[in-house]
């Protein structure tokens, strides 16, 4: 795949595409930190896909696993525009992602630094390094707020 100048910029592009399709604007990109190459990417699509698990992170992890020919994505980095939910945090752990970088916090549905704090649970067997990209957090948050404001009329 391509090498982006900034993986979070690509994730934001994917989030905008999701919004244009009527989906909650979340985008995710899996990157090989050694090469900088995108290994998998995804945008939210549960409505179009009739699939409640079709979150951006899940789509990106599936694409990366297919590209690598392995469900273990040890050492790869995941960039996502919104703090992952519990389902996505579980998938990130099972995939053995080395580092998670997210932009906007999700106090209601997030499960990394909010809610369940999935990676802090004793039953979590793999914990990625976690970083919040505050520089793009406001952009991602504004994208989500604008999306929901427009839907509410």
Q: Clarify whether 83 is annotated catalytic.
A: no
The widest CA-to-CA distance across the chain, in whole angstroms, is: 45
Question: What whole-number distance in Å separates Cα of residue 136 and Cα of residue 71?
Answer: 29
| 85 marked as binding residue | yes
Which pair of structure tokens corresponds to residue 95? 């995939």
**Contact criterion met (CB below 8 Å) for 147 and 25:** yes
| 88 marked as binding residue | yes
| 105 marked as binding residue | no
Question: What whole-number distance in Å separates Cα of residue 121 and Cα of residue 151?
Answer: 35
Active-site pick, 23, 41, 57, 83: 57
Name the one residue in this structure whose structure tokens are 């392995």: 70
Annotated binding-site ranges for Zn(2+): 55, 85, 88
Catalytic residue numbers, as ranges: 57
Please state the residue numbers annotated as binding site.
55, 85, 88
């Amino acid at each position: 795949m391509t090498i982006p100048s900034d993986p979070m910029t690509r994730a934001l592009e994917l989030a905008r595409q999701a919004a244009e399709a009527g989906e909650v604007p979340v985008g995710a990109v899996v990157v090989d930190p050694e090469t900088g190459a995108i290994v998998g990417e995804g945008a939210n699509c549960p409505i179009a896909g009739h699939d409640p698990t079709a979150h951006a992170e899940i789509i990106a992890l599936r694409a990366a696993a297919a590209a690598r020919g392995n469900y273990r994505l040890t050492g790869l980095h995941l960039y996502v525009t919104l703090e992952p939910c519990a389902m996505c945090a579980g998938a990130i752990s099972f995939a053995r992602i080395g580092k998670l970088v997210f932009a906007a916090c999700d106090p209601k549905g997030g499960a990394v630094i909010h809610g369940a704090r999935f990676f802090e649970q004793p039953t979590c067997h793999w914990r990625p390094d976690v970083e919040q990209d505050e520089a793009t957090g406001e952009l991602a948050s504004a994208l989500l707020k604008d999306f929901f404001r427009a839907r509410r009329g």
